Amino acid sequence: MSLQRIKPSDALSQVRYEIRGPLARRAVELERQGYDIVKLNIGNPGVFGFRAPETMRLAVIENLHQADPYCHQKGIFPAREAVVMQQQSRGVMDVTADEVFIGNGVSELILLSLRALLDDGDEVLVPSPDYPLWTAAVTLNGGKAVHYPCRAENGYVPDPAEVAKLVTPRTRAIVIISPNNPTGAVYPKAVLQGLVTIAEDKGLVIFSDEIYDQILFDGAEFTPVATLNKRTLCATFGGLSKVYRACGFRVGWVSFSGAKEAAKDYLLALDLMAGLRLCANVPGQWAVQTALGGKQSILELTKPGGRIYETRRVVSEALSRSTYFEAMVPQGALYVFMRVKPGVIPHFDDQQFALELLEKRHILVTPGHGFNVPYKDAFRITLLPDPETMKKVLATIEEAAAEYART
């Protein structure tokens, strides 16, 4: 008797995550055949030779004897208190350790925070382009992601007046990502204030994804969204994966500020969700206090002469010479959102180009449509390769575009 075909959940039919999707699976197959793949699809510093600061690694090792048991569902106290102190240093004075949750990366906390908030049909305002987990998490939890445009001609910065028109009686929250993944935009304070005012006036929860808060270039100024909010609940997300190059530690956090009294039931629901998964990875949590209180080594990498800065310079120079591509040179974060110049390659298809780039040139990028945009002329690459490697990669991508244009 043959086993009946096992059908996946219908809830997944509208969920996509191209960063680790079909192209990434094909890359694994090619690696098994012996090919070396340059993986520009994901911001994974360790793959490109970056290491977490030694002080963080030592903090984990020295506290392993305390890491065997489960900890509190919100996380160990020293880690939560370190997040509180960071927020206070930025002017967010109404956060206590009780309002900080540690998770297995920010990704888990996004899923928990939305699950605790949404009922079927509730709407969440999400930027487009977005980090696609936000859209996926809204969908998985029965909600509807309503995308507010961040247009290339505006430097991928949203227009609050345009966002305000998208609010309906079913809107529950707004997601803000600055510094932005995938575009590298750092939103001006006035724009952030405009978005916060919409949330305050409409009673929306603010989800501020600030995982790239210290990855900034050429004097770009990061504004913590929580410092602008007074009248609604603001959830601020951060973690060790990007600024501290410790993706594998799987440690993120979310802290809540603003109208906490009105959100008491929601925070209790989130505490329930945190308890259901018992707790986050304990060993990695011991690195948080050292990370946030120690030397911020990311600043050496993002200033002129630093490795990430110099790779960014290589990208900027290559784009100025490119026949086929254009992009905003990122102000922050770890990515470049490249687009085909208008009219240069008619009928360009980002999925097809990315597949050919992988199969023929062994370079893996993420197609632009995976970031929930209405166009298919873009793809995202990471700034993590060293400058010389990036020069070669961009030259190869330019060659691939020439071949694609001919065929």
pLDDT, tens digit, 9 for 90 and up, residues 293-318: 989 999 999 999 999 999 999 999 99
Measured CA to CA, the distance from residue 75 to residue 91 in angstroms comes to 23
- Domain membership of residue 3 (yes or no) is no
pLDDT in tens, 273-285: 999 999 999 999 9
Mean pLDDT of the 1-17 span: 81
What stretch of H or E contains 285?
helix 282-285
Is the model's pLDDT at 2 over the cut of 80?
Answer: no
371 and 402 within one domain: yes
Of 293, 325, 345, the domain-final residue:
293
Which residue range forms the structural domain that includes residue 363? 10-51+299-406
d(CA 101, CA 76): 9
The answer on 314 and 369 residing in a single domain is yes
Distance CA 378, CA 295 (A): 37
Q: Are residues 278 and 210 in the same domain?
A: yes
Determine the Cα–Cα distance for residues 231 and 342; give it in Å rounded to an integer. 43
Q: What is the chain's Cα-based Rg? A: 21
Query: For position 18, what pLDDT does the model report?
Result: 84
Q: What is the mean pLDDT of the chain?
A: 96
Same domain, 258 and 370: no
- pLDDT tens digits for 83-124? 999 999 999 999 999 999 999 999 999 999 999 999 999 999
Same domain for 143 and 65? yes
Per-residue model confidence as pLDDT tens digits over 378-405: 999 999 999 999 999 999 999 999 999 9
Give domain status of residue 29, yes or no: yes
**74-84, pLDDT tens digit by residue?**
999 999 999 99
In a domain, 350, yes or no: yes
Question: Does position 58 have pLDDT exceeding 70, yes or no?
Answer: yes
Q: What is the mean pLDDT of residues 185-199?
A: 98
Same domain, 110 and 244: yes
Percent of the chain with pLDDT over 90: 94
End-to-end CA distance of the chain: 49
Is residue 284 located within the same domain as residue 210?
Answer: yes
Mind listing the pLDDT tens digit for each residue in 132-144?
999 999 999 999 9
Q: Which of 293, 316, 350 is the last residue of a domain?
A: 293
Cβ atoms of 358 and 367 within 8 Å: the answer is no
Report how far Cα 14 is from the mean position of its chain's Cα atoms. Answer: 20
Q: What are 217-267's pLDDT values in tens digits?
A: 999 999 999 999 999 999 999 999 999 999 999 999 999 999 999 999 999
Tell whether 45 and 91 lie within a shared domain: no
Q: What is the mean pLDDT of residues 328-340?
A: 98
Query: For the residues of 98-147, what is the DSSP string, one character each?
Result: GGEEEESHHHHHHHHHHHTT--TT-EEEEEES--HHHHHHHHHTT-EEEE
Max Cα-Cα span within the chain:
67
Claim to verify: residue 39 and residue 80 sit in the same structural domain = no
Buried b (16+ CB within 10 A) or exposed e, 205-217: bbbbbbbbbbbbb
Q: In terms of domains, do 328 and 374 share one?
A: yes
Report pLDDT digits (tens) over 147-177. 999 999 999 999 999 999 999 999 999 999 9
Give the count of domains, the chain.
Answer: 2
| Tally: H helices and E strands in the chain | 14, 13
User: What pLDDT was estimated at residue 20?
Assistant: 84
User: Which is it for the CA torsion 63, 66, 68, 73, positive or negative?
Assistant: negative
pLDDT tier at 11, thresholds 50, 70, 90: confident
pLDDT band at 1 (very low <50, low <70, confident <90, very high): low
Residue type, 31: E
What pLDDT is stored for residue 10 in this prediction? Answer: 85
Indicate whether 68 and 164 sit together in one domain. yes
Among residues 232, 241, 280, which one has the least CA distance to residue 117? Answer: 232
pTM for the structure as a whole:
0.96
As a whole number of angstroms, the distance between CA 14 and CA 149 comes to 20
